[in-house]
A and B are shown apart, each in its own frame.
With several copies, the nearest count.
Chain A
Amino acid sequence: MNNKKPKNVFKEGAITSEFIGNSIYKHQTKTSIGAHNIFLGQVRADIVDGKTVSVIEYTAYEDMANNKFHEIRESAFEKFDLTCMHIYHSLGKVNAGEICLFVFVSSPRRKIVFEALEYIVEAIKADVPVFGKEIFEDETHQWKQNT
């Protein structure tokens, strides 16, 4: 296997709690790990001018996005003593209350996972060409802006 080839980070639709639980389970054979830190992005039912967001539909410049995820991954492994790192991002429709981003880092020690996770999540928000269309209950929409 060529480690340099970017993996596909995208998953169609929401990321389920079963998938996350199962991913945690798989790390129980790695007994050098002492600390995991997990970030989950969840779709908010924001109210804008009296209308409630019911779905975010994600699109991405997929090739560039997977390359950026790969760069973020390589740079995080260089900066931090991580045992494992996993990133999953939704494409397509994700309902309010469902999970659209799952970032999972593991290390022998806790201080490292805190620093690494925040670094990775901020880099994803800043550098990865993913676009969220916030669809209201009446089918109108606006484009999500990260803050």
Chain B
Amino acid sequence: MNLNIKYFGQIAEITNQNEESIEFSGLIVSELLDVLYSKYSDLKNKDFQVAQNQELVLGDKEITGSEIALLPPFSGG
């Protein structure tokens, strides 16, 4: 399936873009991360969370095709 992935903060500095489409044939979040790690090896050293449909998800969560975002540590306020 075709996924739209958003990047923020220091994650977007590594990917060098704020968003992109990726063709994904796996099932769960950790498989998507493997795809991204192979594309952007510097991501491996970064602290981030994954949101799907604007909710934080863990690695075993099924990818539903909704909007995915990679979120570095929050630092509002």
* Residues on A facing B (Cβ under 8 Å): 41, 58-61, 63-65, 67, 89, 100-101, 110, 121, 124-133, 143-146
A contact residues around B10 at 8 Å (CB): 131, 143
**CB of A46 to closest CB in B, whole Å:** 13
A contact residues around B74 at 8 Å (CB): 125-131, 146
With A59-B9, A143-B9, A143-B10 in contact, do A131 and B51 touch (Cβ < 8 Å)? no
Cβ B9 vs Cβ A101 within 8 A: no
* Residues on B facing A (Cβ under 8 Å): 6, 8-10, 51, 54, 69, 71-77
Interface of chain A, main secondary structure:
mixed
Cβ A101 vs Cβ B54 within 8 A: no
Cβ A131 vs Cβ B9 within 8 A: yes
Chain B residue nearest to A129 (CB atoms) is B71
Q: How far is the CA of A143 from the CA of B47 in the complex (A)?
A: 12
Q: Can you list 16 A-B pairs, Cβ within 8 angstroms, ordered by A?
A: A61-B54, A61-B69, A63-B54, A64-B69, A100-B77, A110-B77, A125-B76, A129-B76, A130-B77, A131-B76, A132-B75, A143-B9, A143-B10, A143-B73, A144-B75, A146-B75
